[in-house]
């Protein structure tokens, strides 16, 4: 387990002895697609690393509408900030969107390990700073007034993650189902489908199921301005 933990960005650079100590308190948990991991308002008992699969972090509005805050990919962590909250409750819910293998760290035992390691404490601070940056980027994206603009912003991020240029002829494969993507963009599946159709009719994008080919990158980027 120690070698596995060393592969996570959150724990990179820690000494072998520190990784071995973390391995002693880590618990591997498996979740099937659609299974709840955390529920908003529940007591935070610890935090998770995603070893395999993907997890959505979301909140429900008073009318029951789901707002996806983030999709956690393998190699990343979530809910670590919850263990420091005064009332130690979860501010959002988490659900597996694929069959997933997670590594769980119980709150009390992890905090005890944290008190003994300055390097681990610094890694935790860095992890939470990354979350602040991600949320700031997402808020900036949602501030775009149109679904078209938010979709283009999302595609630009996907291209960057895939290390390909956002340029004419590049095909970008959606990393989530369209229903999940719609919620993440702050809209509904029907509106997302109409938006994709509209972009295709404009000749700026070709849609083939989950594969979107950029036909006019300048035209798409203009929607962000």
Distance CA 114, CA 94 (A): 24
Across 82-110, average pLDDT: 89
Give how far the C-alpha of residue 111 lies from the chain's centroid of Cα atoms, to the nearest Å. 24
Across 5-34, average pLDDT: 90
Q: For each of the domains in the chain, give its residue range(s) and CATH number, in order of start.
A: 2-142 (2.60.120.10), 147-224 (1.10.10.10)
Distance CA 156, CA 172 (A): 9
Distance CA 6, CA 11 (A): 6
> Which residues are 93's β-sheet partners?
58
- pLDDT band at residue 56 using 50, 70 and 90 as cut-offs: very high
Question: Could you tell me the strand order of the sheet in which 211-214 lies?
Answer: 171-173, 211-214, 205-208
C-alpha distances out from residue 195 to 68, 131, 158, 177, 187, Å: 19, 29, 18, 16, 11
Q: What is the pLDDT of residue 213?
A: 93
Q: What is the pLDDT of residue 126?
A: 77
Beta-carbon contacts of residue 103 (< 8 Å; ≥ 6 apart): 1, 4, 5, 26, 27, 28, 29, 48, 49, 51
Q: Is 160 left (phi over 0), alpha (psi -120 to 50) or beta?
A: alpha
Is the model more confident about 98 or about 130? 98
pTM recorded for the entire structure: 0.73
Residue 133 has pLDDT above 80, yes or no: no
Residue 224 has pLDDT above 70, yes or no: yes
Percentage, residues of the chain above pLDDT 70: 93
- Helix or strand holding residue 127 (H, E): helix 118-142
């Amino acid at each position: 387990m120690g070698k596995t933990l060393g592969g996570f960005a959150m724990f990179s650079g820690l000494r072998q002895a520190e990784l071995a100590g973390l391995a002693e308190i880590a618990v591997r948990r498996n979740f099937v697609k659609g299974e709840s991991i955390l529920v908003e308002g529940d007591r935070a008992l610890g935090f998770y690393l995603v070893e395999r699969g993907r997890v959505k972090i979301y909140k429900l509005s008073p009318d029951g509408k789901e707002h996806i805050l983030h999709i956690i990919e393998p190699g990343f962590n979530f809910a670590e900030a919850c263990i420091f909250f005064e009332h130690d409750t979860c501010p959002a819910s988490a659900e597996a969107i694929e069959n997933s293998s997670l590594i769980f760290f119980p709150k009390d035992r992890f905090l005890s390990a944290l008190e003994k390691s300055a390097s681990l404490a610094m890694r935790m601070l860095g992890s939470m700073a990354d979350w602040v940056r991600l949320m700031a980027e997402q808020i900036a994206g949602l501030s775009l007034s149109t679904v078209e603009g938010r979709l283009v912003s999302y595609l630009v991020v996907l291209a960057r993650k895939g290390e390909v240029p956002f340029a004419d002829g590049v095909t970008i494969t959606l990393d989530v189902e369209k229903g999940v993507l719609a919620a993440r963009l702050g809209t509904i599946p029907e509106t997302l489908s109409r938006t994709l159709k509209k972009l295709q009719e404009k000749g700026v994008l070709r849609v083939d199921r989950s594969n979107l080919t950029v036909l006019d990158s300048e035209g798409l980027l203009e929607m962000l301005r």
